[in-house]
Amino acid sequence: MGHFAKRARYVIKRLLQAVPIVFAIIVVNFFLLQLAEGDAVDVLAGEAGSATPEYMAELREKFGLDKPLIVQLGLYLKNVAMFDLGYSFRHEMPVLELVLDRFFATMLLMVSTILLAVGFGVLLGLLAATGLNTWRDTAISIFALITYATPLFWVGLMLIVVFSLNLGWFPTSGMENIAMFYEGWDRVFDIARHLVLPTITLSLFYLALYTRLMRASMLEQAGQDYVTTARAKGLTERRIMFVHVLRNALLPVVTMAGVQVGALIGGSVIVESVFAWPGLGMLAFEALFSRDLNLLLGIFLLSALLVVAVNLIVDIIYSVLDPRIEVA
Amino acid sequence: MVGFWTRFRRNRSAVLGLLILAFVILIAATAQIIFPEDPFRLAGQAMAPPGESGFLLGSDSLGRDVAAGMAHGAKTSLLIGLLATIVAVTVGVLMGALAGYYGGWIDDLLMRTTEMFQTIPSFIFAILLVAIMKPSIESIVIAIAVVSWPAVARLVRGEFLSLKNREFVQACHTLGMSDIRIMLGEILPNCLSPIIVIGSLMVATAILIESGLAFLGLGDPNIMSWGFQIGAGRTLLRSAWWVCTFPGIAILITVLAINLVGEGLNDALNPRLRERT
Amino acid sequence: MSLLEITDLHIALPEGSQRPYAVEAANLHLAPNEILCVVGESGSGKSLTARAVMGLLPKPHVKVAKGAVNFQGEDLAAAPDARMRDIRGSEISMIFQEPMTALNPVMTIGKQIDEVFRFHAAMLGRERRDRALKLLDDVHLPDPTQIMSAYPHELSGGQRQRAMIAMALALDPKVLIADEPTTALDVTTQAQILKLIKEMQKAHDTGVLFITHDFGVVADIADRVAVMQHGRVVEEGPTAKILSSPEHPYTQSLMAAVPSLTPRPARPRSEDKVLEVKNLDKVYRSGGALFGLGKPAREVHAAEDVTLDLRRGETLGIVGESGSGKSTVARCIVRLHDADAGEIILDGADLRPLGRAALRPYRSKIQMVFQDPYASLNPRTRVGKIIALGPIIQGMSQQEAEDKARELLEIVGLDARAFDRFPHEFSGGQRQRIGVARALALEPQVLVADEPVSALDVSIQDQILKLLDEIREAMNLSMIFITHDLRVAAQVCDRLAVMRYGRVVEEGATATVFASPTHEYTKALLDAVPGKSWTPGSDTFAAQ
């Protein structure tokens, strides 16, 4: 069988494996909805200002809210399967529309954050490990230690104080300067300028994480037997580090990058609300304040799906890096 | 025990962390004595810079004392961090031990559950839980514990899985020892070190999550916390930098100290030099 | 003329170690076209000596403190790094004990061989590939083209070691250093690899520095032997001379500890059946998770239709290579694993279907001694408690059990003061004695010993085997003895069952099986025993 066909089968297999997880998340979502005080009818009645108990009962019947829990769960699953995530009464829009509208902004922030965090994390970890116990290693380790302990929102605020308010290099909030009506490359440049601070803020913590992981991983791999073999072959230290050790050391970092995507989206709630970045996180923050649970749950579901997707990509990258993974 | 302390002491940054942590604990314990008044009380002039109008670290837009808030906030952070960790570690150890030891469907269930938790954006999940349960110390502790226990469970499961096949555990089976006794008396003591280490690091993470929740306005409204202070001061960034800055530094230093202690514990408890165990 | 000459070599250990030097005043020389075996037990400094030649001592703590390593007129101990890199892999190369970890797991075999050419010789890609293919062919690997693009995990242990040898010989080095290259391999594979090394050495006129702990291997392969003890070379000379008339007392004791391949005299067989195993079956299943989406389900038939019986006072050996199912059978018998089918009859009762509670009274009748003396004792429990636990569980009073534990410590040759110590304070051999005491505490009728001496140095091994023999005699124990080592089996077992792929292929009295094996596999196993043509001069153990 061709290598490509094998990989395609692997991808399909991994997709199918994600199904039960997505299913479980939807079920959790449903029960969270049940946990919340009051149902959609209460909210609707509250919105309307006045509603008779008879009218509310009628509404409940219409929405199937009088049915046993299990039937309601079935209904909910059916709705989700048809991409119906409910209705946001605050925004007077279907949740799905609202969520998709903000999707791009979050993706942009996430992708740039992952690239920055993983890229620089690997680089810094590599620099620290290759200069073990020199000032370079010490400086990088201290940097990682401190950023690992800093709350995201506080970094964001401090960056705003320094780079926006004092130095005026970057805008304080938003994704683009709408008032300027930029077009084409100007618009791209404008968005990029807005992207800098949120990306740095969100990536700092993960940057520290990957730096530490990469350093530890390099050191661990450097003690393996195959490194001795490579030395016994007369290879240069440079070649051993960059060809033999590096690829092996990357494996746990890649795994961790996948594991951390969920946490990263969580962090984006804070960062987006600090920088008023118009993404899912900001939407979640708004939903939180207006107590719009339907919307919050919709965001939760969509972000979970996003994580599943990113994890799949990470797994495929991993299977390329590590031949021991059974692709077949 | 003596050996542990000598090994721990060798790591100087861990000792530094321990000292800082001791200081934070001292402040938290004596907050009531140093600042006997309610930290939400309007203590005087609003937006006073540090050192002026009798405010050591300044005051916020309502004239609340930032320093007093920080002292009381220390109590909140440590309390929630500790409680959430205790709950998460207890649940995690229990689940992980059962799954790792018995395998089978319990293990399948646990693994799927932790996989789901790895997929769920945990912070959003915590936000949802607190929002649904209404913000209070209990709901915050529960929410943090709910998103934290799977990590402990995975760790403990892995330890139990590898230890249950060790020959000394098999020897206990051939002696006819009961499962409970094998789990508690033989396996658990041998995985206490990693549990202590992950627990200590988890306190730090819990403090970060708590401050994030409070920053978003999901803190217990009756209790002062660092996250709340920063959240309340963010609109004053331009005019009163100190309101946000000092509580942030407090979080940073506390979390850093706990991480340092955790690493020190790791070095002292899990030395790789320890022969073949 | 010497190719390699080590003079007055001192290798310093980091401060605070048990001794200042790992190797002290070592003198060795290696001629072209010769195999020099350096023999010693663990801690003798043999491996570090080899690494010192390569300039591969673990940096920065362990270093050459004094002495010279003269290679063709050049002192390698003083050579700069760049020069050492030139020499390594081209003029001196090395193979290691564990071919799995010694190869980079994420790089193909072809690429790993290619690196040697790329770094030492100016050759075109095409030429390098042809040379690599030829090398793989030379070491008798099947289908070299496919091996080139294979990753280490796709090869068997023996194939990996062949690939390592191909890589080491890529540039026709003058010296090959082999650090226990067959220790991790099964005995039949070991025989093939030894043959290959010898063949390659002849073909290329290489000088081979061969590190080993096994006198059998020495007898098979060495031209000359150097014996090391505590970092010193205590004796050196031609193989024939050392093996027939060793002069140094350490060499003598070491060789005396090697069990002879001549089976010990059989004892009369009792009529009394203690344990019967009938048609035992065990299948391991893995993979095949939810909806069949996991890894494809794998079934390993670890034990298939195994039938054995054990008479009172006799020792039944189960021998075989790794994966033969011998350990599985042992573990099914003591009910650590649940067999799928068959009967395990002890004292008239079938143990196989019994549940935990019903099994408990039978537990004391059948006990086990484990392989790894480090893993078989709980590091956090005091020795006294480890031994006393069994009787306490079976209902003995605390005081009685502790008294018994003290008594047992003396029986297995330890001081009763060991009672309050932790396992890590003891050496491997001492720990194995503790393990034996634990098993004896329940006064079993049957003792199942799963490779009880394979993790121990040969002199310690000898002591533990003697201990087991004494105890068996004194307590009238019946024993099932699992081993991969036919020398040990010859000296310990009254009867032998030879296993392969989960089946017993041959069973009979030890002397009969050794003298006239009927199954092909048994013959192959006996044939592969290292040093089979050599009988240790004085065999103290057989005199028992």
pLDDT at B124 over 90: no
Same domain, C206 and C324: no
CA–CA gap between residue C85 and residue A237 (Å, rounded): 10
Contact A234 C101 (CB under 8 A): no
Q: Is the peptide bond before C60 cis (omega within 30 degrees of 0)?
A: yes
Among C389, C392, C396, C447, which would you mutate to test the B interface (most chain B Cβ atoms within 10 Å of its Cβ)? C389
| Distances in whole angstroms, Cα of residue A4 to Cα of each of A311, A326, A328 | 20, 14, 10
pLDDT score for C541: 34
| Residues C235 and C378 grouped into a single domain | no
Select the more confidently predicted residue: A55 or C191: C191
> Residue A178 above 80 pLDDT?
no
Domain count, chain C: 2
Q: Inter-chain contact C336–B277, Cβ cutoff 8 Å? A: no
Contact yes or no for C105 and A235 at CB 8 A: no
Considering only the beta carbons, identify the residue of A13, A234, A247 that sits closest to C85: A234
Picking from A94, A122, A153, the residue at the C-terminal end of a domain is A94
- Minimal CA–CA distance to C265: which of C527, C544, C479? C544
Gap from C181 CA to chain A (nearest CA, Å): 13
Same domain? For C174 and C280 the reply is no
Residues 6 or more apart in contact with residue B120 via CB below 8 angstroms: A25, A28, A262, A300, A304, A307, B147
pLDDT at A259: 80
CB-based contact, C372 to chain B, within 8 Å: yes
Closest residue of chain C to B166, computed from CA coordinates? C375
Ranges of chain C with pLDDT below 70:
1, 287-297, 536-544
Q: How many CB pairs below 8 Å do chains B and C form together? A: 63
**pLDDT at C266 (0 to 100):** 79
User: Tell me: the pLDDT tens digits for A278-303?
Assistant: 888 888 878 877 777 778 878 888 88
Query: Is the Cα dihedral A107, A110, A113, A118 positive or negative?
Result: negative
The string of pLDDT tens digits covering residues C123-176 is 888 889 998 999 999 888 888 999 998 999 888 888 999 999 999 988 889 999
Structurally, how many domains does chain A consist of? 2
Q: Is C376 on the interface with B (CB under 8 A)?
A: yes
Domain span at residue A85? 2-94
> A306 to chain B, minimum CA–CA distance in Å?
9
Q: Which of residues 292-321 of A touch B (CB under 8 A)?
A: 293, 296-297, 299-300, 303-304, 307-308, 311
Mutate to test the interface with B, among A29, A31, A157, A312 (most CBs of B within 10 A): A157
The tens digit of pLDDT for each residue in B223-245 reads 888 888 888 877 777 777 787 88
Q: Which of C106, C119, C149, C179 would best serve as a mutation to test chain A binding (most A beta carbons within 10 A)?
A: C106
Q: Is the pLDDT of residue A33 over 90?
A: no
Task: Give the model's pLDDT for residue B230.
Answer: 83
Specify the range with the lowest mean pLDDT, choosing from A19-33, A166-180, B36-50, C19-33. Answer: B36-50
- Write out the residue range of the structural domain in which residue C327 sits: 273-527
Question: Are C141 and C204 found together in one domain?
Answer: yes
Kindly state the tokens that stand for C157.
Answer: 């242990």
Q: Is residue C465 part of a domain?
A: yes
The pLDDT value recorded for residue A38 is: 60
In a domain, C313, yes or no: yes
Q: Which residue of A has its CA nearest to B201?
A: A149
Q: Are C421 and C500 members of one domain?
A: yes
| Distance between C102 CA and the closest CA of chain A, angstroms | 4
B21-45: average pLDDT: 78
Chosen for mutation from B124, B207, B256, B259 (greatest number of chain A CBs closer than 10 Å) is B124
Higher pLDDT, C218 or B133: C218
C327 chain-B contacts, CB cut-off 8 A: none
Evaluate whether residue A327 is within a structural domain. Answer: no
Cβ pair C302, C328 in contact under 8 A: yes
Element (H, E) at C359: helix C356-363
Domain boundary among A65, A94, A123: A94
Per-residue pLDDT at B213 exceeds 80: yes
User: Does any domain span residue C63?
Assistant: no
pLDDT at A63: 63
Which of C229, C256, C283 is the last residue before a domain boundary? C256
Q: B112 to chain A: which residues are within 8 Å by CB?
A: 20-21, 24
Give the pTM.
0.83
Do A278 and A210 lie in one domain? The reply is yes
Same domain, C453 and C519: yes
* Higher per-residue pLDDT: C40 or A90: C40
Whether residue A176 sits in one domain with residue A34? no
Q: Residue B169's Cα: distance from chain center in Å?
A: 32
- DSSP 8-state secondary structure symbol assigned to residue C123: -
Nearest CA distance, C341 vs chain A (angstrom): 32
Is there a single domain that holds both residue C294 and residue C238? Answer: no
A19/A107 same-domain check: no
Say whether both A41 and A104 belong to one domain. Answer: no
| Residue C192 exposure: Cα atoms within 13 Å on the Cβ side | 16
Whether C239 and C364 map to the same domain: the answer is no
List the one residue out of C234, C231, C232, C233 whose CA is nearest residue C22. C231
A89 and A115 together in one domain: no
Q: Are residues C490 and C444 both part of a single domain?
A: yes
Gap between the Cα atoms of C433 and C310, Å rounded: 24
Say yes or no: C172 and C300 in one domain: no
Together in a domain, C283 and C339: yes
**pLDDT value of position A173:** 77
User: How far does the CA of residue B166 sit from the closest CA of chain C (Å)?
Assistant: 6
Name the nearest CA neighbour of C502 among C317, C297, C303.
C303
CA distance A313 to chain C (A): 18
Query: Are A224 and A104 found together in one domain?
Result: yes
Same domain, C211 and C327: no
On whether any CB of chain C is under 8 Å from the CB of A324, the answer is yes
pLDDT at A75: 78
Cβ within 8 Å, pair A233-C293: no
* CB burial string B159-193: b at 16+ within 10 A, e below: bbeebbebbbbbbbbbbbbeeeebbebbbbebbeb
Are A148 and A257 in a shared domain? Answer: yes
Residues B140-176: tens digit of each pLDDT: 999 999 999 988 998 999 999 889 888 899 999 988 8
Residue B20's CB: how many other CB atoms inside 10 A?
A: 17
- B215 and chain A in contact, CB less than 8 A: yes
Residue window 153-182, chain A: list those with CB within 8 Å of chain B. 153-154, 157-158, 160-161, 165
Given a contact as 3+ CB pairs under 8 Å, which chains touch B? A, C
Q: Are residues A170 and A313 in the same domain?
A: yes
Query: Phi, psi at residue C143, to the nearest 5°?
Result: 50, 65
Shortest CA gap B253–chain C (Å): 36
Tell me, what CATH number does A107's domain have?
Answer: 1.10.3720.10
**How confident is the model at residue C450, as a pLDDT?**
92
Average pLDDT over residues A103-113: 88
A326 lies in some domain: no
- State the pLDDT confidence band at B197, using cuts at 50, 70 and 90: confident
As a whole number of angstroms, the distance between CA C180 and CA C47 comes to 9
A67 in the same domain as A151: no
Instruction: Give a yes or no: residue C22 inside a domain.
Output: no
In the predicted model, is pLDDT for residue B102 greater than 80? yes
Task: Using alpha carbons, select from C167, C30, C7 the residue that is nearest to residue C88.
Answer: C167
A124 and A193 assigned to the same domain: yes
Give the model's confidence band at B273: pLDDT under 50 very low, under 70 low, under 90 confident, else very high.
very low
Q: Is residue A276 part of a domain?
A: yes
* Min Cα separation B185/chain A (Å): 32
A216 touches B: beta carbon within 8 Å: no
Q: Is residue C532 part of a domain?
A: no
Chains touching chain A through at least 3 C-beta pairs below 8 angstroms are: B, C
C503 DSSP β-pair partners = C500
- Asked if C91 contacts C173 with a C-beta cutoff of 8 angstroms, the reply is yes
Q: Is residue A328 part of a domain?
A: no
Tell me the C-alpha distance between C432 and B179, whole Å: 25
Which CATH number characterizes residue C313's domain?
3.40.50.300
* C442 contacts chain B (CB < 8 A): yes
Rounded to the nearest integer, the mean pLDDT of chain A is 81
Provide, as residue numbers in chain C, all residues whose Cβ is less than 8 Å from the Cβ of A326: 295
Residue C297: per-residue pLDDT: 62
Check residues B6 and A291 and name the one with the higher pLDDT: B6
Residue C23 lies in a domain: no
In a domain, C26, yes or no: no
Question: Which of A149, A269, A304 has its CB closest to that of B123?
Answer: A269
Q: How would you classify the pairing of strands C366-369 and C446-450?
A: parallel
Residue C266 lies in a domain: no
Q: Provide the phi-psi class of C275: left if phi over 0, else alpha when psi is between -120 and 50, else beta.
A: beta
Residue A63 maps to a domain: yes
C293: closest CA of chain B, how far (Å): 14
CB B171 to CB C368 under 8 A? Answer: yes
Structure token digits, residue A311: 């994890």
Contact check, Cβ <8 Å, A234/C86? yes
Same domain, A185 and A308: yes
Contacts of C370 in chain B (CB under 8 A): 167, 170-171
Predicted local confidence at residue C292, as pLDDT: 42
* Residue with the larger pLDDT of the pair A50 and C146: C146
Contact B167 C378 (CB under 8 A): no
- DSSP letter at C518 equals -
Q: Which of B13, B127, B130, B146 to mutate to test the interface with A (most CBs of A within 10 A)?
A: B127
Q: Which chains touch C (3+ CB pairs under 8 A)?
A: A, B
Regarding whether A252 and A110 lie in a shared domain, the answer is yes
Domains and CATH numbers, chain B: 2-276 (1.10.3720.10)
Most confident of A85-94, B63-72, C476-485: C476-485
Residue where one domain finishes, among candidates A40, A74, A94? A94
